[in-house]
Amino acid sequence: MNQVVMNARMARNKLVDGSASTFASLNVGPRTVIVSNRVPSPNEKGATAGGLAVALADSITDGTMWFGWSGKRAPETSSIADMVTVDGVTYATIDIGERDYTRFYNGFANGALWPLFHFRSGLLLYSRPDYEAYRTVNRAFAEALLPLLKPDDLIWIHDYQLLTMAAELRELGVQNRIGFFMHIPFVPPALLAVLPPAAELLAGMSTCDVVGFQTEGDRINFLECVKAFLHVKPDNSARFAFRERQVKVVLTPIGIDADKFTELAERAELTGDAKRLNESLGDRALVLGVDRLDYSKGLPQRFDAFGRLLYSFPQHLRKVAFLQIAARSRQEVGSYQTLRRELDRRAGDINGEFSDFDWVPLRYMTHPVKRNAIAGFYRRARVGLVTPLRDGMNLVAKEYVAAQDQADPGVLILSRFAGAADELTEALIVNPFDADEVAEAMHMALTMGLSERKSRHESLLLKVRHTTALKYCEDFLAYLSKAEKV
Ligand code: GDG
């Protein structure tokens, strides 16, 4: 008996021992198997900073299996998944070996793919051993998932860490429908060409039946790349043939559970954290930023823009406070350490320049805050400052809109380079590289009358309520479950 078949039997036994009731619910219709790099433990839901986990946690339904990395590092990458079922959702996780992790995660995924797909080719660090580890981990994911699969499962793979997993599944003989969704932006051919294994990665993605993107721009970039690198000819419905399979390229922007978030913000407003923030502010207006500490989020530029506001519009001195929550992430990657030092310096410069003995204009914290506290902070903020240099979607923009008091809403300032800007056109749309433009938008937001605030917010809320996390899932799965003719 070969190792894969042995693993299959052992894993099946483990699954049956763990959850007979889940099996009952999985027997009805095709099951969705979600695959993402990181699977939060069921108890950890909502506690982490990160858009993918938040969006998926909002949309996962009874009977789904969620497969991926446990978050634990082990001496070796595991070949058999650990299974646990909570509220009808089966969480299947593997540990990643210490050495694989460093090269796969810090190395190729976050040292090469992340900067490149955020249009920062100057930050890209490529090495062949990193890429080999990436391939190894994608292979390990495929091998550990294989024994858990049923013939009619719909497999839905998420994000840039797993670009070659579908190809590995196909090589292992998996014939199921496979979908892939890219949460981050996609670059045009001239940029992708910088990456040595570009064609291999595109070929990996193109072994899927459906490939989805956040914006029309990303979708077009991907189609241009497959034309240039794989020499395929997409038709007018964004379908192309590759290795005897039809690939459909779709647009399914991600969202949040807006109504649930509104309720969370209403409740949070009355809790200890929101009250403490409120007391500390007095009657000052709050400008709020909430981001993972990441160079794609444009934090140094945002700090500078706030400095420009205080310099160019001194009427706001002492009347405004800027709170930036920048939860630390990927601290083992050098460019993130550099960013942190840079922000410390700029925050010090601004506070040194403008503070008074009883007023500090900029508050900046790098430890994560509880999700319900964040919801309450959004509701208190007169201005939501969302100015990434490049972002797949940006859920913070949508959360900020959902959290507002409709009778007295705040104003969203949004970077034109966030995917969310395609939808949320009633925000104040800015170029985050232009500190003066962002400062002017802040001034406009801080002085905007109630009726304009209400009319902008009303339109934004309609959109955020329409493009929910659930709609995102339903739309993608509708494409994935519908076989296209070859
Ligand atoms: C990727 C793409 C795309 C932030 N700080 C804390 C905290 N957060 C939460 C926010 C929000 C989430 O993390 C961040 O989501 P984003 O969408 O803004 O950004 P990424 O993490 O970069 O997500 C992005 C997303 O995937 C989904 O497709 O939109 O473009 O880059 O929910 O509220 N949550 C908690 N504490 C914090 O300190 N609890």
DSSP 31: P
Residue 7 has pLDDT above 80, yes or no: no
58 counts as catalytic: no
pTM beyond 0.75, yes or no: yes
Considering only CA atoms, which residue is closest to atom 33 of ligand 1?
Answer: 396
Mean pLDDT computed over 212-226: 98
Expressed in angstroms and rounded, the spacing between residue 299 Cα and the centre of ligand 1 is 14
pLDDT band at 484 (very low <50, low <70, confident <90, very high): low
- The whole-number pLDDT of residue 26 equals 35
- The whole-number pLDDT of residue 483 equals 59
- Per annotation, catalytic residue among 95, 100, 153, 183: 183
Residue 293 has pLDDT above 60, yes or no: yes
- Per annotation, catalytic residue among 158, 257, 391, 443: 391
Q: At 221, phi and psi to the nearest 5?
A: -60, -45
Give residue-wise pLDDT tens across range 73-129: 999 998 899 999 988 889 999 999 998 999 999 999 999 999 999 999 999 999 999
For residues 307 and 320, give the distance between their C-alpha atoms in angstroms, rounded to a whole number.
Answer: 12
**More confident position, 49 or 453:** 453
**More confident position, 331 or 446:** 446
pLDDT band at 244 (very low <50, low <70, confident <90, very high): confident
Mean pLDDT computed over 66-77: 93
- The whole-number pLDDT of residue 62 equals 78
Percent of the chain at pLDDT exceeding 70 = 90
Give residue-wise pLDDT tens across range 180-194: 999 999 999 999 999
Expressed in angstroms and rounded, the spacing between residue 395 Cα and the centre of ligand 1 is 6
Q: What is each CA distance from 331 to 93, 102, 113, 133, in whole angstroms? A: 23, 12, 17, 20
Residue 5 has pLDDT above 60, yes or no: no
Q: Enumerate the β-bridge partners of residue 327.
A: 292
Task: Write out the E strands in 200-312.
Answer: 210-213, 239-242, 245-251, 285-292
**More confident position, 431 or 24:** 431
- The whole-number pLDDT of residue 42 equals 76
| 367, 396, 414, 415: residue to mutate for ligand 1 pocket, most atoms within 8 A of CB | 396
* Six token digits for residue 238: 């964004």
391 counts as catalytic: yes
- The whole-number pLDDT of residue 332 equals 79
Expressed in angstroms and rounded, the spacing between residue 399 Cα and the centre of ligand 1 is 10
Mean pLDDT computed over 201-228: 98
Expressed in angstroms and rounded, the spacing between residue 289 Cα and the centre of ligand 1 is 12
Give residue-wise pLDDT tens across range 298-310: 999 999 999 999 9
Average pLDDT, the chain: 90
Give the sheet arrangement for strand 320-327, strand by strand.
362-365, 320-327, 285-292, 383-386, 411-415, 428-430
Atom of ligand 1 nearest to the CA of 396: 18
For residues 232 and 87, give the distance between their C-alpha atoms in angstroms, rounded to a whole number.
Answer: 44
pLDDT band at 9 (very low <50, low <70, confident <90, very high): very low
Residue 46 has pLDDT above 70, yes or no: no
If DSSP codes are grouped into helix, strand and coil, which group holds residue 241? Answer: strand
For residues 486 and 481, give the distance between their C-alpha atoms in angstroms, rounded to a whole number.
Answer: 15
